[in-house]
């Protein structure tokens, strides 16, 4: 049983890391699109749809980064109250927070899947010059949203079992104002 849980933990951590890497790739894609668009303008060419593609990449980068950022402590958490209470009350507050967050993430994931399905079903096309089927960029939102919902569920289960979350707070990444 412990071996299976270790494998599951490794698998989930790998998914969260892969999600962060995919987010970074989308950020590099945004940079590349901007550079290509600049080169096209300098040479008098037109790169139709570049702003739309950059927007799609930004949305995908954001959603793919959610789970990885959660595990690294990069999400904004108002921990003044949580840090000022005892361990039992802290567990209650952490459970409440992760329950609400998990429910909202799964709610969002469900409707993201539903919206993407209907975009595919009706063959909805973007209104920009690119005329891209809109379900293609929506898949970044769906996959990233699902990974985020899984990450929140993972943390909720961990809080329920052990009494503490697995979020690592990296002091180096925090600002001096915190």
Query: How does pLDDT run across 89-128, given as a tens digit for each residue?
Result: 888 888 998 999 999 999 999 999 999 999 999 999 988 7
Query: How does pLDDT run across 121-166, given as a tens digit for each residue?
Result: 999 998 877 788 999 999 999 999 999 999 999 999 999 988 777 7
Contact 64, 141 (CB under 8 A): no
Residue 173 confidence (pLDDT) above 50: no
Query: How does pLDDT run across 12-27, given as a tens digit for each residue?
Result: 999 999 999 999 999 9
The per-residue pLDDT for 98 is 92
The per-residue pLDDT for 172 is 45
Q: Rounded distance, CA 49 to CA 94, Å?
A: 44
The per-residue pLDDT for 22 is 97
The per-residue pLDDT for 131 is 82
Please give the C-alpha separations between residue 135 and each of 4, 49, 100, 107, in angstroms, as whole numbers: 36, 16, 28, 19
The per-residue pLDDT for 16 is 94
Residue 176 confidence (pLDDT) above 70: no
Indicate the pTM of the whole model: 0.86
| Helix, coil or strand: residue 17 | helix
Q: Is 72 exposed, middle or buried (0-12, 13-18, 19+ CB in 10 A)?
A: middle
Three-state SS annotation for 109-176: HHHHHHHHHHHHHCCCECCCCCCCECHHHHHHHHHHHHHHHHHHHHHHHHHHHHCCCCCCCCHHHCCC
């Amino acid at each position: 049983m412990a071996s299976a849980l270790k494998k599951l933990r490794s698998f989930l951590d790998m998914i969260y890391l892969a999600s962060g890497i995919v987010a970074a790739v989308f950020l590099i894609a945004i940079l590349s699109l901007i550079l290509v668009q600049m080169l096209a303008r300098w040479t008098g060419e037109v790169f139709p749809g570049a702003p739309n593609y950059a927007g799609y990449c930004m949305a995908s980068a954001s959603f793919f980064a959610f789970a990885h950022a959660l595990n690294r402590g990069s999400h904004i958490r108002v921990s003044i109250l949580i840090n000022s209470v005892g361990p039992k009350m802290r567990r209650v507050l952490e459970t409440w927070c992760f329950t609400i967050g998990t429910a909202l993430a799964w709610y969002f994931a469900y409707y993201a899947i539903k919206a993407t399905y209907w975009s595919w079903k009706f063959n909805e096309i973007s209104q920009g010059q690119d005329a891209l089927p809109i379900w293609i960029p929506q898949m970044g939102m769906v996959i990233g949203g699902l990974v985020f919902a899984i990450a929140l569920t993972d943390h909720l289960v961990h809080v329920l079992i052990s009494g503490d979350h697995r979020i690592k707070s990296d002091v180096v990444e925090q600002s001096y104002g915190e």
